[in-house]
Chain A
């Protein structure tokens, strides 16, 4: 389901500050992206952009992850990383929503998409 969610302001209580952060970088509107999990204490001081760079520079990718990474790279040729349609300036927590697994384990989730803007009109060919 693809509802347009209203903007959420995350209210974080003290206990929630100790949650792990799941960052997913997706190519365009793909349902799946590259996922990185950051443990509490490892992400709070870093900008979301820095965490995205870390995620995209992960080594030892599986074949599936490698394909996603290539797709993200293609989108970023003339595209940008956006989170819920906004620039990814600031810390990851500013964009995070609190979710939980089926087993009831809570975590923060931040979805980032590599979006290439559409222009229309004419396509210029290489000389």
Chain B
């Protein structure tokens, strides 16, 4: 079971699952979603031992973490990191993830990282003047750089702070990527990764949203939409859940063999109060999108992406297209008001598909001469988060940029 559950990431060259499973990871958090989202994703990735110091955790996400990974052990200490004496709690941790929003913890942890040579991975979201955004940085002794000034929260003591479930989802993904890299002795970014945009106005209204694809991207798009108070969502996917999906498709831990679209819709309605529904179907040229205001493309093949691009262009619908691999991802936006090119045109999908001879395809498929692409949770939650944020920006009258993420490069975004 474990082997099957982790199959898609065990296929990655140089992957060291044991390093993840044997590690002990310390986390310092606040009373918000960020630490809980990190814990859930870490469990899905197969990190088995997490110690958290945080006043509260989100019960739904923690429960999901436990159900996803039978070996997962969470030690939760309720409180704040306000004195060096608390250091002892983190004895034996391979690294500490600092997701808190008070400067005292940030400084104490950097001091601990320096004096004990423990890596500290920092992630936070912030609101400043008319701006909202996030920053992440990996501190390793020797990196006493100016960037450190930017990752220390302005308030020394725990305080009310800006929190956003969508940005938290992205931060948790980037921070988990760094966690994985450190534990597997791979290169970590030495850049400050940051993202910012204008503050969003409050009301989103209730647009009708179609999410095509209910795999890892679709799940995190659904979660981001729920956190953004969108309710009217339709999930479309013809597939059923397989064991090998469970290293990244976090809400399917008890649904192997069942419809992905139906399970996702049910889970989000039960756990997050959405009013979503499911269509167990392929998206094709006959699919009717006339009643929707926006379409999220969360599929896993260029052929369907081309159809989505063309249908959305024909019907003048907003399209947010996401795509991921094990270490990279992109988000491309089609806004009919801008009269720009579609995702399929921008990314040259027609050329790619044209080079695929359909006859060879059929032969390969018949002879099973294909293999699943490796896949992990991080790139999916990062791309999905940016897709939802791009949509919120469009509704707010802002112009989101297309985003290209690459976990192998210093300049991640």
Query: Which residues on B sit within 8 Å (CB–CB) of A82?
Result: 346, 402, 404
B197 within 8 A of A: yes
Instruction: Say yes or no: A7 contacts B401, CB within 8 Å.
Output: yes
Instruction: Say yes or no: B347 contacts A120, CB within 8 Å.
Output: no
Closest Cβ of chain A to B129, distance in Å, is 15
B348 within 8 A of A: yes
Q: Indicate the size class of the contact surface on chain B.
A: 35 or more
Instruction: Say yes or no: B349 contacts A117, CB within 8 Å.
Output: yes
Query: Which residues on B sit within 8 Å (CB–CB) of A119?
Result: 300-302, 323, 325, 373
Query: Which residues on B sit within 8 Å (CB–CB) of A30?
Result: 409, 411
Q: A120-B373, A123-B373, A127-B364 are in contact. Are A2 and B194 (CB under 8 A)?
A: yes
Instruction: Say yes or no: B369 contacts A125, CB within 8 Å.
Output: yes
Query: Which residues on B sit within 8 Å (CB–CB) of A59?
Result: none
Chain B: which residue is nearest A6 at the CB level? B399
B196 within 8 A of A: yes
B359-371 to A contact mask, C-beta < 8 Å, 1/0: 0110110000111
Instruction: Say yes or no: A117 contacts B194, CB within 8 Å.
Output: no
The segment from A13-21, A49-57, A84-92, A102-110 that touches chain B is A84-92
Q: How far is the CA of A24 from the CA of B300 in the complex (A)?
A: 32
Query: Which residues on B sit within 8 Å (CB–CB) of A3?
Result: 194-196
Closest Cβ of chain B to A50, distance in Å, is 18
Q: How far is the CA of A82 from the CA of B301 in the complex (A)?
A: 21
| Contact with A2, one of B372, B375, B413 (Cβ below 8 angstroms) | B413
- Residues of B at the A interface (CB closer than 8 Å) are 191-197, 215, 217, 300-302, 323-325, 328-330, 332, 341, 345-349, 351-352, 356, 360-361, 363-364, 369-373, 375, 379, 399, 401-406, 408-413
Instruction: Name 5 A/B residue pairs within 8 A (Cβ), A-sorted.
Output: A2-B194, A85-B404, A115-B330, A125-B364, A127-B369
- Which 10 residue pairs are nearest across A and B when measured between Cβ atoms? A121-B300, A85-B402, A29-B409, A120-B300, A29-B406, A117-B347, A118-B323, A118-B325, A80-B348, A123-B373
